[in-house]
Chain A
Amino acid sequence: QVHLQESGPGLVKPSEALSLTCTVSGASISSYYYWSWIRQPPGKGLEWIGYYYSGNTNYNPSLKSRLTISIDTSKNQFYLNLRSVTAADTAVYYCVRGNQQSYEYYMDVWGKGATVSVSS
């Protein structure tokens, strides 16, 4: 069974970088899945951040200038780095596995989520 677990600081200062790690168990991060990040501001809906897939990345244009998603195959982990954060980046951040099967795309495995607050 595949599990994803987010980790990282729960509090980040404005203008600094938010960095999160997702540890994958039960599957190889080298396999052909879309290793993704989704966030959810308090009391609001879901926002796609972006993904890493087979050596390529795809980012939400609204975040692209501040965002890097990367992987470390030796650790079976993938990462989120969001620079120059503001209070608007306060959210629960989910790491998620995206899956493409038979011309369908869906996100089938979700981490429990990491709460990140941006505040001085």
Chain B
Amino acid sequence: DIVLTQSPGTLSLSPGERATLSCRASQSVSSSYLVWYQQKPGQAPRLLIHGASSRAAGIPDRFSGSGSGTDFTLTISGLEPEDLAVYYCQQYADSPLTFGGGTKVEIK
């Protein structure tokens, strides 16, 4: 199985700051199959980024994804209070589909 390791576990930042979330894969993952989701408290996850860098419909442009191979990054430029959430990366380059353990973003 491809293991996805997300870091840091928790990120605590002030509004307006830049958040950088990492997702590292145990083996190379095609960018086409690297996805990011946002899960706000008490809600279902929501698709954020697909294909490593393409924003899903309705996602603000302060969210951006990048990376290739085994290292991927989700960047939130200019944190807003509503960005309080857990962010998960996911791969389906190989079965079984796997998720990272998540990064919790806290707003100071």
Contacts and interface: CB of A to CB of B under 8 A. Distances in A.
B98 A110 contact: no
Contacts of A113: 44
Given A58-B95, A103-B32, A108-B56, A46 B88 contact: yes
Interface stretch (B10-18, B45-53, B77-85): B45-53
A44 B80 CA distance: 25
B101 interface: yes
Interface residues of A, number: 21
A62 B96 CA distance: 10
B101 A45 contact: yes
Nearest to A100: B92
Contacts of B100: 45
A28 interface: no
Contacts of B98: 48
Q: Which of B37, B51, B92, B97 has the most CB of A within 10 A?
A: B97
Given A47-B99, A48-B98, A104 B51 contact: yes
B21 interface: no
A46 B102 CA distance: 9
A45 B4 CA distance: 12
Contacts of A60: 96-97
B38 to A, nearest CB: 11
B60 to A, nearest CB: 17
A103 B43 CA distance: 29
A107 B88 contact: no
Given A62-B96, A94-B45, A104-B32, 5 more contacts: A46-B45, A106-B35, A106-B56, A110-B45, A112-B43
Top 6 closest A-B pairs, CB basis?
A106-B50, A48-B97, A110-B44, A104-B51, A46-B99, A105-B92
